[in-house]
Structure 1
Amino acid sequence: MVVLAKGELEQIALPAVHKTAPPLADVPEVDLAVAGRGSEGRAAAARAVAAACEEHGFFKVTGHGVPAELLARVENAAAAFFALSQRDKEAAMSAATPGSPFGYATPGSPFGYASKRIGNNGDLGWVEYLLLGVTAATGGPLSVPEGVVPSASLCSFRDLLNEYTEVVRRMTCQVLELMAEGLGMDDRDAFTRLVLHKESDSMLRVNHYPPRPELKLLQQHGGGGRVTGFGEHTDPQIISVLRSNATSGLEIALRDGAWVSVPPDHTSFFVNVGDALQVLTNGRFRSVRHRVMVNSARPRVSVIFFGGPPPRETLAPLPQLVGEGGRSRYREFTWREYKASAYRTKLAANRLCHFETTS
């Protein structure tokens, strides 16, 4: 497989962590099929979702109804895109290319293809990725600009990602409804309407972590460490819904700060509580700190849907979750304000600390 430009990558000192992988996580599981089996099944699923969000901010979704054939096609298409030469990938998706084939890349835009550099604050990782905007009308990545004629293969990839995003966003809204019900809220659409809003700031990210076969040899001889693919962080949005191939690498931090490794499961989805949801729930749900480590032998491909609120949406703890006479742990701010603040920080920073109340 043709991956990142080796000469350029080897000039960059990527962050490494401990030599040995952490223990396997006991990941909470929520079966969405159970939620469709009458009121008792739905109530049980809602309780399970709320418990997982309170304890870990992270859980696995099964019984989601997303066709396995669609998941396989997306995985294969993503692998084919990342197997292109570095020049072809950059030509296809570079933000410097007017009329990018997918339509997301404009001068100064964060969307498009990139590798190694994560954000604008010096964070590095052994990763290449596509970061794509999602339109409210279709639920899929932005359409091709008028007058632009992309290649047939890129059109096919775009259409496939549109199909995938529409299906996954519907499933995401099911999960958000269960979250609201699990919190005992009267309005079960309180979170969903933000993601479905016509100006919702949602995104799709496709990550590719090339393997590093030399790591295993180095470790066998007592040298080297594990290489960071994507450094530790929390997600700023309301919710993140991830699906990956059958390659390990994802790790999450527990409440006590200990790291655990998430067993790969290419048939399921993994849900992260984001910073915005932590604020809306007044800290009852906690955004999960997570990272991705590089596998020594196999490439890892993951696709993440980030459900975000509209830029002008005011975020603050919902009154029902604060309670009469209760303390709001966060001040009011807009999503645009928070996003601007978050993107000025390093990946591992505690972004929410700037928005906490002091009394």
Structure 2
Amino acid sequence: RKEKNRISSGHLTVPNVQALAQTWNESGEQVPERYVRTEQAGEEEVVASCAIPIVDLGRLLDPQWSEEELRNLGSACQLGFFQLINHGVPDEVIHDMRRDITEFFKLPLETKKVHAQLPDSVEGYGQAFVLSETQKLDWADMIYLMLRPTESRNMRFWPAQPPSLRDSVDRYSTAAANIVSCLLRFMAADMGVEPERLQEMFAGQPQNMRVSYYPPCRQAGKVIGLSPHTDACALTLLLHVNDVQGLQIRRDDGKWLVVDPLDGALIVSIGDTFEILSNGRYRSVEHRAMVHPDKERISAAMFHMPFAGRRRSTTSMAHAKTGRSLPVPNVQALAQTWNGSTEEVPERFVRTEEVCAEEVVAGCALPVVDLGRLLDPRTSEEEIANLGSACQQWGFFQLINHGVPDELILDVRRDIVEFFKLPLEAKKAYAQLPESGLEGYGQAFVFSETQKLDWSDMIYLMLRPKESRDMRFWPAQPPSFRSTVDRYSAEAARVVSCLLRFMAADMGLEQPESLFQVFRGQPQTMKVTYYPPCTQAGKVLGLSPHTDACGLTLLLHVNDVQGLQMRTDDGKWLAVEPLDGAFIVNIGDILEILSNGRYRSVEHRVVVNPNKERIAAAMFHQVCPDTTVGPLPEVAKGDAGPRFKSVSHADFMKRFFSTKLDGRRSHLDHYRI
């Protein structure tokens, strides 16, 4: 019977404290001896609750206040703890996180034990750092999960109850990583170092989470919820799941200071690693958790660590920095005034020769690939043949049963539409900067004052790896935009990872890892394009004919207005009719080269509607920046030799942009052998 409520701690087995408290608190017995910590809990002086320094992330991101708030951040880091407000984590994400964690600890013990720690592992449900049979114990249980990089996740430890917990943790993990990425940038500025040097150390943003449950104890003065310690990581973000205090930090005089958390704030603490990185400027401060005599306390700590492997010199998404454009009129604003007039289309937008001189074939459905059938062992082989045919013959296909939740697609569409409804001045807060290249709100590939212009505006964002994100360009309105895009980014990356696996099979690769290695880190950017209506639509182009330089593109139609056209072999344009709920997937230049020409990167363009706006979101999936772009050796060998030259990714992108500058539509011929 004594063993019934015992689970593995990853070290030695100890009693489950929640179960112990439920029976013991109703008895008249003394606290079990192994939990008695009177010397520590009762004899050290505690200072009345006090608010620790407050740092405002909104002010850090605001150029008007950033310098002043940066000094505040530096001062707080030298103390070792601060409360972070205006952090940008949506209220609904925090609400869902708190709800699902609370519900998990309400589950029966046997249900929670499904996710119990295994021997020699701290991950899972149990306790931590129990190394001897005589060791004093903390009055707490916990669940510990590895969150990032996502491939480190072991889903056997991720609770399936409540059903929404996994999604809630994933969304909160992303939000916490975004915050830390921002903080690292400003900490680098405070320390006077290049932000890239610091962010490189955190490549992949390794992140673990410990959720601690502290049951009430009617003899609270005799126990400790969490023993005094410092965090070995670099930065910790602590979320109070309920409103019960308990965190205390050690002052220089040895007294304990009770932390009084602000509603909605996150508690941020400096870890041992960051104290070392900062050469002692920032402080890792000892802290502990106490328990309440009548109420449970729950908190979730997110530990952020440096990258554990070798440090790589990654100029991630460097191509986006290269494609700098000249400023041009905002087309949405122009259309709002011009469409109501009787004037001719402004001369720089007139493309009559291109639009009207080439034949357009009536709408036709592209090949359809079913990801559900690819994943089903019973139909996978047949569907791989279908996928290969689509990639080889068309270069475009529609992907159905892709597994991206309907509600997420609804959220993406809603937030993108709401962004483009904002006043121009509100959108211009995220405008491209001279040093940012493509990234931000504006237009792309405008290199001369006489160049013909596309009838569209766009916002371009770097999404993955997450440390490449520059939150200056991520709209804060509507409030859910950032969270929605982040969730959609993760889903798109998952879909592409699946497709690459099956493409490797279609290409006959015995080692699919050779293809995955090229796409390691899953670099990803997004371009959301807004095409205003034009009453003289036959004179303008929404997006000039081009091929995509990336590996693979996933296109989401944000509304139901058509406009995409692809070039057929006979030079005609085929109007694409998107299926409801499907993604349009197209092969990019790099994947044509990797496949040694088996897959085709096809020229395409966008025309506009005379009466309706069109909005589309393209997710570009790139290769790792330090890779060599060339035919995969195993494919080239099967084709009796390479059909393309190999080149560094950096040089490949330079030629791509020079091609844009010269007005040419494709640059692949340069690499053909």
User: Is the TM-score greater than 0.5?
Assistant: yes
- Given residue 366 of structure 2, which amino acid in structure 1 is its aligned partner? V
Structure 2 CA distance for partners of 1:64 and 1:108, relative to 1, 3 Å:
closer
Matched AA of 2:529: N
Partner of residue 276, structure 1 = 590
2:456 aligned counterpart, secondary structure: strand
Tell me the distance in 1 between the aligned counterparts of 2:387 and 2:629: 22
Number of the residue aligned with 1:61: 399
Counterpart of 2:332 in structure 1 is 3
Query: Structure 1 residues 322, 312: closer, same or farther in 2, change over 3 A?
Result: same
The aligned amino acid for 2:614 is: R
Residues 24 and 354 of structure 1: CA distance in aligned 2, closer, same or farther (over 3 Å): same
CA shift, 1:281, in A, is 0.9
Q: CA deviation at 1:327?
A: 2.9
Taking structure 1 as reference, are residues 3 and 44 closer, same or farther at Cα in structure 2, changes over 3 Å only? same
Find the counterpart in structure 2 of residue 175 from structure 1: 499
* Residue 315 in structure 1 maps to residue 626 in structure 2: no
Q: Distance in 2 between matches of 1:186 and 1:43?
A: 15
Q: Secondary structure at the match of 2:348?
A: coil
The answer for the alignment partner of 2:43 in structure 1 is: none
% identity of equivalent residues? 27
Counterpart in 2 of 1:52?
390
How many angstroms apart in 1 are the aligned matches of 2:523 and 2:418?
28
Give the residue type in structure 2 aligned to 1:316. Answer: G
Normalised by the length of structure 2, the TM-score is: 0.46
Deviations 1:88-108 (A, max 9, x none): 211x21133xxxxxxxxx724
SS of equivalent residue, structure 2 residue 398:
strand
Q: In structure 2, what is the equivalent of residue 95 of structure 1?
A: 432
| 1:212 corresponds to 2:562 | no
Q: Which amino acid is the alignment partner of residue 590 of structure 2? A: A
Q: CA deviation at 1:175?
A: 1.2
Any conservation in 2 of the 1:14–1:126 contact (CA below 8 Å)? no
- Tell me if structure 1 keeps the 8 A contact 2:349–2:540: no
- Structure 2 CA distance for partners of 1:246 and 1:324, relative to 1, 3 Å: closer
CA distance change for structure 1 residues 11 and 79 in 2, over 3 Å: closer, same or farther?
Answer: farther
Verify: 1:252 aligned to 2:566, yes or no.
yes
Worse-superposed segment, 250-259 or 124-133: 250-259
Task: Answer yes or no: is 1:264 the counterpart of 2:583.
Answer: no
Task: Name the structure 1 match of 2:376.
Answer: 37
Q: Deviations over 1:213-268 (max 9, x none)?
A: 454xxxxxxxxx25210011100011111110211100011233221100133410
User: What corresponds to 2:603 in structure 1?
Assistant: 289
1:299 equivalenced with 2:637 (yes/no): no
Indicate the residue corresponding to 1:202 in structure 2: 524
The residue that corresponds to 2:363 in the other structure is 24
Q: Is the alpha carbon distance of 1:26 and 1:95 closer, same or farther for their aligned partners in structure 2, counting shifts above 3 Å?
A: closer
In the alignment, is residue 234 of structure 1 matched against residue 547 of structure 2?
Answer: yes
Following superposition, the deviation at residue 36 of structure 1 comes to 2.4
CA distance in 2, matches of 1:109, 1:176: 29
Q: CA deviation at 1:133?
A: 0.8
2:485 alignment partner, SS class: helix
* Match in the other structure for 1:112: 440
Give, in whole Å, the separation in 2 of the partners of 1:279 and 1:163: 30
Which amino acid is 1:175 matched to?
L
- Letter of the 1:94 counterpart: A
What is aligned with 1:15?
351
Deviation at 1:21, TM superposition (A): 4.4
1:142 is aligned to 469
Shift of 1:311: 1.9
Mapped pair 1:72 → 2:410:
yes
Shift of residue 187, structure 1, vs aligned partner: 2.1
TM-score by length of 1: 0.83
Aligned residues, how many?
328
Question: Structure 2: where are the runs of 5+ without partners?
Answer: 1-330, 339-344
Alignment deviations for residues 167-222 of structure 1 (CA, whole Å, 9 cap, x no partner): 11101111111111112211224333433x23x5421111111112454xxxxxxx
CA distance in 2, matches of 1:314, 1:123: 34
Q: In structure 1, the residue corresponding to 2:586 is in which secondary structure?
A: strand
For residues 271 and 57 of structure 1, do their structure 2 counterparts lie closer, same or farther at Cα, with a shift above 3 Å needed?
A: same
Structure 1 residue 137 displacement after superposition: 4.4
Instruction: Give the Å deviation of 1:132.
Output: 0.8
Q: 1:13 to 1:151 in 2, by over 3 A?
A: closer
For CA contacts below 8 A with separation 6 or more, give which structure has more relative contact order: 1
- Aligned to 1:303, what secondary structure does the other structure show? strand
Q: Aligned match of 1:161 in 480, 485, 488? A: 485
Mapped contact 1:249–1:295 kept (Cα < 8 A): yes
Amino acid at match of 1:124: L
Residue 129 of structure 1 corresponds to which residue in structure 2? 458
Measured after TM superposition, the shift of residue 151 of structure 1 is: 7.6
Supply the AA of the counterpart residue of 2:376.
Answer: R
Report the Cα distance in structure 2 between the residues aligned to 1:77 and 1:325, rounded to whole angstroms: 46
Other-structure match for 1:355: 671
Change (3 A) 1:81 1:152: closer
In the TM superposition, residue 3 of structure 1 has moved relative to its aligned partner by 3.0
* 2:484 match: secondary structure: helix
Match of 2:62 in 1: none
Which has the larger helix fraction? Answer: 2
Deviation for aligned residue 1:155:
5.0
Structure 2 distance, partners of 1:269, 1:173, is 15
Q: Tell me: CA distance 1:203–1:288, structure 2 relative to 1, closer, same or farther (3 Å).
A: same
Name segments (4+ residues, structure 1) moved above 4 Å: 6-9
Q: Greater Rg, structure 1 or structure 2?
A: 2
Alignment partners' CA distance in 2, 1:210 and 1:13: 13
Query: The residue matched to 1:255 in structure 2 has which SS?
Result: coil
**Matches of 2:544 and 2:408, distance apart in 1:** 29
Alpha-carbon distance between aligned partners in 1 of 2:579 and 2:553, rounded to the nearest angstrom? 16
Secondary structure at 1:24 match in 2? strand
Residues 153-162 or 52-61, more deviating: 153-162
* Unpaired stretches in structure 1, ≥5 consecutive residues: 97-105, 216-224
Q: How many angstroms apart in 2 are the aligned matches of 1:235 and 1:113?
A: 20
